[in-house]
Structure 1
């Protein structure tokens, strides 16, 4: 009974309160004004990142030291020239296996599992890895534990103990990825695009197979380590709470006696452009298509790099870009669409325009992307497009290097590829100088939609039109070669 009275009372109060609420008033016209657009935006300050201290030893090894006393941590990085693009063609996957087995095996004195326990007690880390152009060793610890943790890191660098059981584990993990690589349609399209641009058997396009992984031995890992561990091809960097003079003395005592070694042979940087046409993968278990238009991009050392960066932002830089606004927003032909005019440090990047679209819209979406590429050459950017693109590029750029550790990491990369130390400082000025005429000029110089390869991964039975409507079709074989047969047992 009490609950019923309480409910009735609350209901009555709510009704009275509701009766007292005034009717909504018309919104005045001034309310439609967007006042935040009147907030003045000051120009960006000059970009002057704090440069790390650079030391070059007599044997060619480069050291970077970046003091940062905000927190009591010290982080170390060692970059070693030589990566997957340098590994033998019949042992693709070697560098990936090396990067994992190096750390998990440990050293001649301390097994990897024991090292794990010791580091965990100190909340410290030591990690190794292999990439496209380098292998690396990184460590991190509290300032008070630096001497102990760095000693373990240097021991791992100078006295690794590659072990067969750890290599076998790394092989199983890499081969599990090979076995599953055709599960993801987007991954299939991406790999195909890279291979078409760089060559399927080239250092940038080849991929690990069961046979190439199984061919790698412990002796191969040791030989790779001995080959790349040369002072002239190594960069050591530390960032954190330390005194640079004292740290330099410690590092000199470790690295000054390393031999200079021989430089690895240069990787070819001459890629014939991909042959135009449609490269199709029929994947019957999907209900959408992944489309990539691919060609070659440029290097960052190209004087037109700044104009190409602005052009890229106008064309495919985000939600406000031309390709997004046309293909997705206006035409509704794609779930996602974007692209980039890539610029690598020492070889041509990729020019890619990508879209994910429902199967029935595959041909229409592809044609719309091609049309937008063509308009780059014939429709100059408006003043608003140019301003927004330059603002977006510069604002993004500044936040990429807004801390000492980010600046240090970029200085390592610049040193690795032989770029001047002030390359970052010149970037802001280079972008600001780009004009609408520059954008149109580089678009006409570097962009040709008729020379792009078109990769489509989708369900042929559900497409609104055949891929041949876009050009001659080459069906790609993505079959995964089976593992090699085990050697016959001796009787």
Structure 2
């Protein structure tokens, strides 16, 4: 922990850094505790829209200047929006850290949101929404969220809808921006060959120039996370039938977090998993099949995705549930548990070879848990998972057969 430092700066921004001297690079991310679940329904998609507008120009940089500047640093600049978080990030050589910080802070806090760019970006994002609807695997996932979460904010698509995007204007964007992007709601995470004090000095310097334009941060109330279980069929003339099976899950802070991760690796989280081996390799029923666990702040869900021929849908679904029931019965070998743990353990260590992954992990731990979690602790938590823990997680997620959501896109024969 001696290489990790945390500091709340004068502006209210929380700065966390982890020094890794064996890297020449540094990854820096500005993380905002906001995303689609904090949006009013009529503003659905506005967090993602604002993320796009960060790259359209500030008082001191045009969009061409932004692109040229990151190119001259030989770096990468990108951003993403999720259900609960928004992040703008870069990876550069450490010698360029000050320029990179200046750029990131300028984009997040000095963007102009010009009216003409707002109108142009509407068309871009409407095309992005159309792209999702044209991709059956992506669209089936969006429909699944709606089916599973019903009236919860988690049902809303991150991109928004055609109606909400079309209704955005500069005033709505500025009002929402000022309510969520307050520096007190921001975490800056940096990892690589760095000096914490120099980074803090740079952030303090650049934040002094930020004009106060933010509302007070509001404490986020617990969101509605009620789920709906049942069968949902969305008929569409497709060559394949895409279906997702949704089950109860756990939150990011849950004590069974790592047990669920091991369970996922056994069931469908790797190419040696039961679903992949049995449904695809042995039976040839699906080309794409996998499971995954999604961890939110207040809850989570577990799901299985498969793309199959319409005439193989019923058989595929039956086989998937048989595999789930077999795990619930306790038919899990010691080798499966050991191999699943090794898959997660070594995958985690590989991720720590990247400054970007270290930066991401530290930011998420700070935002959700308010603390640094050493690599050694994660490895211990993985190692502690045993047969009893996996069986307990399986019972918790899979035992209630009434708690299963099936969302289908395509044709059923």
Which of the five TM-score ranges fits, normalised by the shorter chain? 0.7 to 0.9
1: CA distance, partners of 2:24 / 2:348? 28
1: CA distance, partners of 2:49 / 2:17? 30
Structure 1 residue 279: deviation in Å? 1.4
**Structure 1: tracts of 5 or more residues without a match:** 1-48, 464-491
Structure 1 residue 216: deviation in Å? 0.9
Correspondence for 2:301 among 336, 339, 350:
350
Structure 1 residue 412: deviation in Å? 1.1
Structure 1 residue 363: deviation in Å? 0.6
2: CA distance, partners of 1:170 / 1:228? 21
2: CA distance, partners of 1:291 / 1:440? 26
Structure 1 residue 72: deviation in Å? 5.5
CA contact under 8 A between 2:14 and 2:186: conserved in structure 1?
yes
Correspondence for 1:220 among 172, 188, 209:
172
**Structure 2: tracts of 5 or more residues without a match:** none
- Give the structure-2-normalised TM-score: 0.88
CA contact under 8 A between 1:315 and 1:322: conserved in structure 2?
yes
CA contact under 8 A between 1:77 and 1:238: conserved in structure 2?
yes
Secondary structure at the residue paired with 1:449?
A: coil
Q: Per the alignment, do residues 127 and 444 of structure 1 end up closer, same or farther by CA in structure 2, a change over 3 Å counting? A: closer
CA contact under 8 A between 2:297 and 2:368: conserved in structure 1?
yes
Which residue in the other structure is 1:78 paired with?
30
Which residue in the other structure is 1:486 paired with?
none
1: CA distance, partners of 2:192 / 2:388? 45
Structure 1 residue 273 corresponds to structure 2 residue 227: yes
Correspondence for 1:169 among 106, 120, 127:
120
Structure 1 residue 124: deviation in Å? 5.2
Structure 1 residue 364 corresponds to structure 2 residue 315: yes
Q: Per the alignment, do residues 51 and 301 of structure 1 end up closer, same or farther by CA in structure 2, a change over 3 Å counting? A: farther
Which residue in the other structure is 1:379 paired with?
330
RMSD: 2.8
CA contact under 8 A between 2:152 and 2:226: conserved in structure 1?
no
CA contact under 8 A between 1:231 and 1:261: conserved in structure 2?
no
CA contact under 8 A between 2:191 and 2:358: conserved in structure 1?
no
Which residue in the other structure is 1:298 paired with?
250
Correspondence for 2:198 among 223, 242, 246:
246
Q: Per the alignment, do residues 426 and 343 of structure 1 end up closer, same or farther by CA in structure 2, a change over 3 Å counting? A: farther
Provide Cα deviations, 1:398-438, integer angstroms capped at 9, x if missing partner.
Answer: 22223444223211111111243126432322222222222
Correspondence for 1:283 among 220, 236, 239:
236
Structure 1 residue 375: deviation in Å? 1.4
2: CA distance, partners of 1:178 / 1:126? 23
Structure 1 residue 310: deviation in Å? 1.9
Structure 1 residue 141: deviation in Å? 4.7
2: CA distance, partners of 1:398 / 1:74? 18
* Larger RCO of the pair (alpha carbons < 8 Å, separation 6+): 2
CA contact under 8 A between 2:153 and 2:223: conserved in structure 1?
no
* Mapping 1:195-206, distance limit 5 Å: 195-199=146-150, 201-206=151-156
Correspondence for 1:388 among 332, 339, 351:
339
Moved more, 216-225 or 237-246: 237-246
2: CA distance, partners of 1:385 / 1:253? 53
Q: Per the alignment, do residues 203 and 251 of structure 1 end up closer, same or farther by CA in structure 2, a change over 3 Å counting? A: same
* Mapping 1:93-112, distance limit 5 Å: 93-104=45-56, 106-112=57-63
2: CA distance, partners of 1:393 / 1:140? 25
Q: Per the alignment, do residues 306 and 123 of structure 1 end up closer, same or farther by CA in structure 2, a change over 3 Å counting? A: closer
Structure 1 residue 352: deviation in Å? 0.9
- Give the structure-1-normalised TM-score: 0.75
- How many residues align? The count is 408
2: CA distance, partners of 1:78 / 1:206? 24
Structure 1 residue 315 corresponds to structure 2 residue 270: no
Higher gyration radius (CA): 1
Structure 1 residue 156: deviation in Å? 3.2
Structure 1 residue 290: deviation in Å? 1.3
Q: Per the alignment, do residues 322 and 206 of structure 1 end up closer, same or farther by CA in structure 2, a change over 3 Å counting? A: same
Secondary structure at the residue paired with 1:320?
A: coil
2: CA distance, partners of 1:112 / 1:305? 42
